[in-house]
Chain A
């Protein structure tokens, strides 16, 4: 009896911080946001409830276009992060010597020691009109005047890929690391070409890592604010920028909350769709042993 009580107590003590964190910092604010999004101001201190904020969102093309644009660009960033991250992860987990593995992994982590803001400014220093690349191009004589490489979509995508690629590499390395090399050798031995082995053995094996990495990267990208604003400028048309504007510039909390809910719902929908299309489930990827 006493034993189970102790067990219960330690379970409660261990679980409490997590439960408090989830309840106070995730569920409660979301409920608050959801509540505000359903509220409409009709006069000073007077509110009615309904879906009018959502209707307003749909009737204004610039809003939902921004949301769609954000989603598309996030998917693009996710795909590019996967394309860049997979070879790196494969090299670290399967090709590099055991000794150099930790060092390589650490090198991937180093950028995280510098804040997002500083890294974005780093890009600005390199890419602005008077920046490194521009003056280099002028010196070589490829261009006659200064070139502005900031404030376009390509730069935003590149900056975002750079920021998030690590979150793709980490889950990929850990899944690929768990893969027995003899599986790959067996794939060759039984007659598979490089492509077959990659497509039918490596990728299916790494699928949980790929899905986990993609979800993390997609969510991080869609919810990022600093990089699109700093590298894309005022015209970057990132959805988080709209949310910020509603809350801070216009002080329209109802509309901002609506946008927040829509961003959460829409990105969750995209993730769900992605899982369905690849035939994966959250249980088989995140909860895999």
Chain B
């Protein structure tokens, strides 16, 4: 059973197509993210689901029923806005009660429901606080409570963590995931931050230029990207462009621009000998030293220390700068800037995609 289904959704603004034939299904109770750079159409997509924009064509179904003719105030979809949009002239309790009052529930029920939902988001007894008295994280939880008290079929979240500072954002990611678990409601989360999407989601759709590039679990997207855009956008990657020398059994031999040849897995089936491709290798797959399939020479340029995600920057002999992530921290490899080194990785960790035109 799917809580939300979108079928070949298209939205055009004049000659510009913001959302181009997007289809996806969100299973009940799952956390689904739409990840894409700003301007890729993800906000337009969300606004269509909420009912603030009418699609040019296609269908949106919630629990199997088309909602295209349902006005925004009648859809069983609630939304947490980017800047939360808590009503400043109401206190916390009134903010949460607003939706219930619109529904015409009686006063006694409303009081009880407000108290219960505040309890669930971990802010019991804050009914009479003013919105301005709350911290960023608390406002976030009130914005979610305000929607959840209405028991929506789908909760839409439009980059709600964007306005928070880094530390709080890290904490809220985990908290959001827990809240989703607790409410067992379908969350549709929109973000441009890949770490948010990977960390919280059951499924992620990567969106680019109005279209979905790939839908999959975070692990799939990370380990098995289907397009060059996904490989480059999800997680860190070293990226070299080059030309296909030969192709056999799903492996591509690529001559990198500037010199050097590597073998990588063919990422798509449009790769042909002589075609131009981009090769992606994740920093954590590369280590200093020899002994694996792919070996290239270079010079250490600098060491970037950042705890677990520390990097060594190596200028390769062909002029490209490579980020090396593996075995930087364990002290087994000691290098210093200026040193000549070899970097190596397994063929299985390289991926080649046809260069997008």
* Given contacts A185-B52, A190-B78, A205 and B88 within 8 Å (CB-CB): yes
B98, A189: Cβ atoms closer than 8 Å: no
What's the least CB distance linking A99 to chain B, in Å?
Answer: 16
26 contacts between A and B (CB under 8 A): A180-B85, A182-B85, A185-B52, A185-B79, A185-B81, A185-B85, A186-B79, A187-B87, A188-B71, A189-B50, A189-B72, A189-B79, A190-B147, A191-B99, A191-B102, A191-B103, A191-B150, A192-B99, A192-B102, A193-B102, A196-B102, A201-B87, A201-B89, A204-B87, A204-B90, A205-B89
Measured between alpha carbons, how far is A41 from B78 in the docked complex, in Å? Answer: 75
Measured between alpha carbons, how far is A205 from B52 in the docked complex, in Å? Answer: 21
A200, B79: Cβ atoms closer than 8 Å: no
B85, A183: Cβ atoms closer than 8 Å: yes
Q: Does B224 contact A (CB under 8 A)?
A: no
A183, B87: Cβ atoms closer than 8 Å: yes
Which residues on the A side are within 8 Å of B98 (C-beta)?
Answer: 187, 190, 192, 200
Within 8 A of A (CB), among B73-96: 73-74, 77-79, 81-83, 85, 87-90
Within 8 A of A (CB), among B85-124: 85, 87-90, 98-99, 102-103
Which residues on the B side are within 8 Å of A189 (C-beta)?
Answer: 50, 72-73, 77-79
Which residues on the B side are within 8 Å of A187 (C-beta)?
Answer: 87, 98
Please pick, from B52, B73, B88, the residue contacting A191 in the complex, using a CB distance under 8 A: B73
Which residues on the B side are within 8 Å of A192 (C-beta)?
Answer: 73, 98-99, 102
A190, B146: Cβ atoms closer than 8 Å: yes
Residue among B71, B73, B99, B103 having the largest count of chain A Cβ atoms under 10 Å: B73
Measured between alpha carbons, how far is A192 from B98 in the docked complex, in Å? Answer: 8
B78, A182: Cβ atoms closer than 8 Å: no
- Closest chain B residue to A190, Cβ basis: B99
Within 8 A of A (CB), among B129-165: 146-147, 150
Which residues on the A side are within 8 Å of B102 (C-beta)?
Answer: 190-193, 196
Bits for A138-164, please: 1 = Cβ < 8 Å to B, else 0: 000000000000000000000000000
Which residues on the A side are within 8 Å of B72 (C-beta)?
Answer: 185, 188-189
Bits for A206-248, please: 1 = Cβ < 8 Å to B, else 0: 0100000000000000000000000000000000000000000
Within 8 A of A (CB), among B42-94: 50, 52, 71-74, 77-79, 81-83, 85, 87-90
Measured between alpha carbons, how far is A204 from B88 in the docked complex, in Å? Answer: 9
Measured between alpha carbons, how far is A190 from B75 in the docked complex, in Å? Answer: 9
Give the top 5 A-B pairs by smallest Cβ distance, nearest first: A190-B99, A191-B102, A186-B85, A182-B85, A204-B89
Measured between alpha carbons, how far is A192 from B72 in the docked complex, in Å? Answer: 9
Which residues on the B side are within 8 Å of A207 (C-beta)?
Answer: 89
Which residues on the B side are within 8 Å of A182 (C-beta)?
Answer: 81-83, 85
What's the least CB distance linking B83 to chain A, in Å?
Answer: 6
A188, B73: Cβ atoms closer than 8 Å: yes
Measured between alpha carbons, how far is A207 from B87 in the docked complex, in Å? Answer: 14
Which residues on the A side are within 8 Å of B146 (C-beta)?
Answer: 190
Measured between alpha carbons, how far is A200 from B147 in the docked complex, in Å? Answer: 17
What's the least CB distance linking A188 to chain B, in Å?
Answer: 5
Which residues on the B side are within 8 Å of A196 (C-beta)?
Answer: 102
Which residues on the B side are within 8 Å of A180 (C-beta)?
Answer: 83, 85
Which residues on the A side are within 8 Å of B89 (C-beta)?
Answer: 201, 204-205, 207
Residue among A180, A189, A204 having the largest count of chain B Cβ atoms under 10 Å: A189
Which residues on the B side are within 8 Å of A200 (C-beta)?
Answer: 98
What's the least CB distance linking B146 to chain A, in Å?
Answer: 7
What's the least CB distance linking B151 to chain A, in Å?
Answer: 12
B73, A193: Cβ atoms closer than 8 Å: yes
Residue among B77, B81, B90, B150 having the largest count of chain A Cβ atoms under 10 Å: B81
Measured between alpha carbons, how far is A193 from B81 in the docked complex, in Å? Answer: 19
What's the least CB distance linking B86 to chain A, in Å?
Answer: 8
Bits for A170-183, please: 1 = Cβ < 8 Å to B, else 0: 00000000001011
- A-B contacts besides A180-B85, A191-B99, 12 pairs, CB < 8 Å: A188-B71, A188-B72, A189-B50, A189-B73, A191-B73, A191-B103, A192-B98, A193-B102, A201-B87, A204-B89, A204-B90, A205-B89
Measured between alpha carbons, how far is A200 from B79 in the docked complex, in Å? Answer: 19
- Closest chain B residue to A184, Cβ basis: B85
Which residues on the A side are within 8 Å of B90 (C-beta)?
Answer: 204
What's the least CB distance linking A189 to chain B, in Å?
Answer: 5
Which residues on the B side are within 8 Å of A204 (C-beta)?
Answer: 87, 89-90
A190, B52: Cβ atoms closer than 8 Å: no
Measured between alpha carbons, how far is A211 from B269 in the docked complex, in Å? Answer: 67
Which residues on the A side are within 8 Å of B83 (C-beta)?
Answer: 180, 182
- Closest chain B residue to A183, Cβ basis: B85
What's the least CB distance linking A180 to chain B, in Å?
Answer: 6
Measured between alpha carbons, how far is A189 from B85 in the docked complex, in Å? Answer: 11
- Closest chain B residue to A179, Cβ basis: B88
Measured between alpha carbons, how far is A182 from B78 in the docked complex, in Å? Answer: 13
Measured between alpha carbons, how far is A102 from B79 in the docked complex, in Å? Answer: 32
What's the least CB distance linking A174 to chain B, in Å?
Answer: 16
Measured between alpha carbons, how far is A55 from B298 in the docked complex, in Å? Answer: 103
- Closest chain B residue to A192, Cβ basis: B102
What's the least CB distance linking B76 to chain A, in Å?
Answer: 10
- Closest chain B residue to A186, Cβ basis: B85
Measured between alpha carbons, how far is A191 from B85 in the docked complex, in Å? Answer: 15
